[in-house]
């Protein structure tokens, strides 16, 4: 199953989840209306309807409407509380953000693992949090998109897990991000909160009446109100139980998929199996002490509470057995030695095929993770640390786009120093180092710098985007790769726009945008105009199913290319699959994929939030 098919499956699961929760809500509404019906019979002086009168439907309409409003508002407020952001959830649970420049050995180990995984997948490095007061071995990923997701790990996991075991846990959480599970998890919070509100209201009614005397309740009708409160409490509680059963059924299957994906990422099943085994044999297990953890328990790597019928995770023994049964033996686990990071057994072919590149989307390969670790080791320490630093990251990012022409470079550096009040010597050093980097290391700096730049205030992010646009348009010509980088920084640093998938929208309705992107890509990778034209026609037919002529280089600009990519960012997963396949077909038309073309393709994927 490809990345896009997993994304499509996540969308279908969301629809199924909405349907099941809708049934639960209907059940709650029917029960509340049943209570209303009994109250009308018991406490109305005369039968509210008879042979000559119609059934009074108005009270039931009011009860249904008010109940729906209460549930909807409650669910929305819960969603709004977290703002659709993984960072808000991490802070809600008491998480402390880890600085990418930390000197703590354990925190540095965690940051290196997360950075390697992000760079291997060509996505911005997500913020990392530690739950300092939690001694159980656990972790979670949260967020609505790749761009706003975070990774959180308990102190117990950092203290107890070796590097390869921690890598298995982090790979598991990354798979949740890639598969779209994190967005589904946040929706679950809202759905559960809405249903639970009914029971909470009933409980509050009973508590408020408990302060009155029995005599007072009798005289003032408190008894009737008490029974209404009790009914609401029971209905709400049953609704919550049903909702949690639905949540458990959906979440368990996703955990199996995340385990399988983590093993595919690392090609080292012993790491993940070792982490699960330590949870099994460790006295604190994976338990979370915070009382706030219950509502987000479905997000964790392992069960935050004891297993039950409503457990959101499969039994540990079954998860371990599916990976490696040896880890069910406590002696084996205790005698096992941590495994150092090793080079992959087989080296990838430098001239990658379309099939192999497409297969790796959303599924970082063993060699890409090792290559990411090597990249972090080979980058000069000043450049690497500056890319991680929110104050110096703008200079590293801008240095990638400064002109190689000595005279133009001098003018650009002077302008940047004046704008950002930085040292000219320091910026020149960044430019000199950055411009000698190979393609893979340039993208690594982009992904590290995005993570750091997101910490800056909005006004400073806008200033940075203005500066990067000025550099790119300095000579009046917008290079295709530079245009893609501009769109990448805009996409991740501006306020995120809500993604809306239109079921009826297809590539057929975006023919001009597809034509622009493929024409630009064909010209970028083929110096021979005839080869570029043939590459375009082949790719366009694959995407649209029709024949068309390539746009000339005078027919499009970097700006129109950026606009076209923006219009294609919200395609449905299976339509996005066709677009990506056509881009790869265009690149490989001449039978080879150069590092320059691969870098360009990865940059496009970065703007589309496709791990590559």
Nearest CA among 127, 171, 121, 130 for reference residue 149:
127
Axis crossing angle, helix 3-43 with helix 573-587, rounded to the nearest 10: 170
Q: Per-residue pLDDT tens for 224-234?
A: 666 677 777 78
d(CA 26, CA 71): 12
Residue 58 belongs to what domain range?
3-82+185-251
Point out the domain boundary residue: 313, 335, 357.
335
Contact yes or no for 560/516 (Cβ under 8 A): yes
Per-residue DSSP letter, 145: S
> Do 393 and 462 share a domain, yes or no?
yes
Predicted confidence (pLDDT) at residue 380 exceeds the cutoff of 90 = no
Contact yes or no for 487/494 (Cβ under 8 A): no
Task: Pick the most confident of 238-252, 356-370, 432-446, 541-555.
Answer: 541-555
Q: Per-residue pLDDT tens for 427-469?
A: 888 888 887 887 778 888 888 999 889 888 888 889 898 888 8
Sheet holding 128-131, edge to edge: 96-97, 128-131, 150-154, 139-142
> Do 390 and 433 share a domain, yes or no?
yes
> Do 140 and 49 share a domain, yes or no?
no
Predicted confidence (pLDDT) at residue 179 exceeds the cutoff of 60 = yes
> Do 45 and 18 share a domain, yes or no?
yes
Residue-averaged pLDDT of the chain: 81
Cα–chain center distance at 67: 33
SS3 97: strand
Predicted confidence (pLDDT) at residue 213 exceeds the cutoff of 50 = no
- How far separated are the first and last CA of the chain, in Å rounded? 15
Axis crossing angle, helix 163-179 with helix 222-266, rounded to the nearest 10: 120
Is residue 487 included in any domain, yes or no? no
Q: Tally helices (H) and strands (E) across the chain.
A: 26, 4
d(CA 22, CA 5): 25
Residue range 580-606: average pLDDT? 83
More confident residue, 6 or 385: 385
Predicted confidence (pLDDT) at residue 77 exceeds the cutoff of 90 = no
- Band (pLDDT 50/70/90 cuts) for residue 222 is low
User: What is the value of pTM for the model shown?
Assistant: 0.82
> Do 262 and 165 share a domain, yes or no?
yes
> Do 513 and 596 share a domain, yes or no?
yes
pLDDT recorded at residue 309? 60
Residue range 51-65: average pLDDT? 73
| Percent above pLDDT 90 for the chain | 13
> Do 164 and 309 share a domain, yes or no?
yes
Predicted confidence (pLDDT) at residue 156 exceeds the cutoff of 90 = yes
Is residue 175 included in any domain, yes or no? yes
Is residue 125 included in any domain, yes or no? yes
Point out the domain boundary residue: 225, 251, 277.
251
Contact yes or no for 300/139 (Cβ under 8 A): yes
> Do 422 and 397 share a domain, yes or no?
yes
| Percent above pLDDT 70 for the chain | 84
Beta bridge partners of residue 153, listed in sequence order: 130, 139
**CATH code of the domain containing 164:** 3.30.2010.10
Task: Establish how many alpha carbons lie within 13 A of residue 184's alpha carbon, considering only the half-sphere containing its beta carbon.
Answer: 27
Helix (H) or strand (E) holding 423: none
> Do 395 and 440 share a domain, yes or no?
yes
Is residue 498 included in any domain, yes or no? no
pLDDT recorded at residue 126? 92
- Band (pLDDT 50/70/90 cuts) for residue 362 is low
More confident residue, 484 or 502: 484
- Band (pLDDT 50/70/90 cuts) for residue 558 is confident
pLDDT recorded at residue 161? 92
pLDDT recorded at residue 277? 92
Predicted confidence (pLDDT) at residue 154 exceeds the cutoff of 90 = yes
Cα–chain center distance at 547: 37
Residue range 501-513: average pLDDT? 75
> Do 50 and 191 share a domain, yes or no?
yes
- Band (pLDDT 50/70/90 cuts) for residue 217 is very low
Contact yes or no for 101/388 (Cβ under 8 A): yes
Active-site positions read 173
Is residue 202 included in any domain, yes or no? yes
Q: Per-residue pLDDT tens for 268-302?
A: 888 899 999 999 888 788 888 888 887 788 889 98
Residue range 101-107: average pLDDT? 90
Structure tokens at 527: 């110096």
Is residue 160 included in any domain, yes or no? yes
The residues, any chain, with a CB within 8 Å of residue 519's CB and separated by 6 or more, are 536, 550, 551, 555, 556
Is residue 155 included in any domain, yes or no? yes
Beta bridge partners of residue 154, listed in sequence order: 131
Strands 139-142 and 150-154: antiparallel
> Do 162 and 276 share a domain, yes or no?
yes
Contact yes or no for 277/137 (Cβ under 8 A): no
d(CA 4, CA 2): 5
> Do 575 and 453 share a domain, yes or no?
no
d(CA 159, CA 107): 10
Give the number of domains in the chain. 4
d(CA 307, CA 309): 7
Task: Establish how many alpha carbons lie within 13 A of residue 527's alpha carbon, considering only the half-sphere containing its beta carbon.
Answer: 2
pLDDT recorded at residue 10? 64
More confident residue, 48 or 208: 208
Is residue 361 included in any domain, yes or no? no
């Amino acid at each position: 199953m490809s990345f896009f098919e997993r994304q499509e499956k996540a969308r279908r699961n969301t629809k199924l989840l909405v349907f099941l929760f809708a049934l639960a809500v209907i059940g709650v509404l029917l029960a509340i209306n049943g209570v209303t019906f009994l109250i009308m019979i018991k406490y109305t002086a005369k039968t509210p309807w008879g042979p000559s009168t119609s059934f009074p439907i108005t009270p039931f309409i009011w009860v249904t409407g008010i109940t729906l409003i209460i549930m909807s508002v409650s669910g929305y407020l819960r969603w709004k509380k977290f703002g659709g952001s993984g960072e808000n959830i991490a802070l809600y649970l008491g998480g402390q953000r880890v600085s990418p420049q930390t000197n703590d050995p354990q925190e540095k180990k965690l940051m290196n693992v997360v950075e390697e995984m992000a760079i291997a997948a060509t996505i911005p490095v997500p913020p990392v949090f530690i739950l300092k007061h939690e001694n159980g071995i656990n972790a979670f990923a949260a967020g609505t998109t790749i761009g706003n997701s975070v990774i959180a790990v308990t102190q117990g996991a950092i203290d107890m897990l070796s590097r390869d075991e921690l890598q298995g846990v982090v790979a598991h959480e990354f798979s949740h991000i890639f598969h779209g599970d994190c967005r589904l998890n946040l929706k679950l919070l809202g759905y559960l909160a809405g249903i639970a509100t009914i029971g909470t209201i009933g409980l509050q009614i009973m508590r408020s009446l408990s302060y009155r005397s029995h005599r007072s309740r009798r005289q003032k009708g408190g008894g009737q109100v008490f029974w209404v409160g009790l009914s609401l409490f029971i209905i709400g509680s049953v609704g919550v139980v049903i909702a949690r059963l639905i949540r458990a059924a959906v979440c368990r299957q996703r955990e199996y998929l995340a385990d399988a994906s983590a093993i595919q990422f690392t090609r080292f099943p012993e790491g993940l199996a070792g982490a699960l085994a330590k949870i099994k044999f460790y006295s604190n297990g994976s338990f979370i002490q915070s009382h706030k953890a219950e509502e987000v328990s479905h997000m964790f790597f392992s069960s935050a509470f004891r297993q039950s019928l409503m457990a959101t995770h499969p039994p540990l023994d079954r998860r371990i057995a599916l990976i490696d049964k040896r880890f069910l033996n406590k002696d084996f686990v205790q005698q096992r030695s941590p495994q150092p990071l090793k080079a992959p057994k087989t080296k990838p072919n430098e001239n990658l095929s379309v099939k192999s590149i497409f297969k790796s989307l959303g599924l970082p390969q063993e060699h890409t993770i090792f290559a990411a670790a090597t990249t972090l080791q080979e980058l000069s320490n000043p450049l690497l640390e500056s890319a991680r630093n929110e104050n110096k990251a703008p200079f590293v990012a801008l240095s990638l786009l400064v002109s190689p022409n000595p005279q133009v470079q001098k003018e650009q550096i002077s302008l940047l120093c004046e704008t950002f009040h930085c040292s000219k010597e320091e910026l020149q050093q960044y430019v000199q180092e950055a411009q000698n980097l190979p393609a893979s290391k340039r993208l690594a700096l982009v992904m590290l710098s995005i993570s750091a730049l997101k910490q800056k205030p909005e006004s400073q992010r806008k200033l940075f985007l203005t500066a990067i646009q000025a550099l790119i348009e300095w000579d009046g010509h917008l290079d295709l790769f530079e245009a893609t980088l501009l769109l990448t920084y805009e996409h991740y640093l501006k306020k995120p726009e809500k993604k809306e998938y239109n079921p009826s929208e297809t590539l057929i309705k975006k023919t001009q945008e597809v034509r622009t992107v493929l024409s630009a890509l064909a010209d970028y990778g083929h110096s021979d105009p005839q080869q570029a034209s043939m590459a375009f026609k082949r790719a366009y037919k694959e995407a649209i199913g029709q024949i068309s002529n390539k746009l000339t280089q005078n027919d499009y600009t970097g700006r129109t290319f950026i606009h076209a990519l923006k219009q294609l960012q919200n395609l449905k997963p299976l339509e996005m699959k066709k677009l990506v396949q056509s881009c790869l077909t265009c690149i490989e038309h001449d039978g080879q994929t150069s590092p320059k073309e691969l870098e360009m393709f990865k940059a496009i994927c970065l703007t589309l939030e496709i791990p590559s």
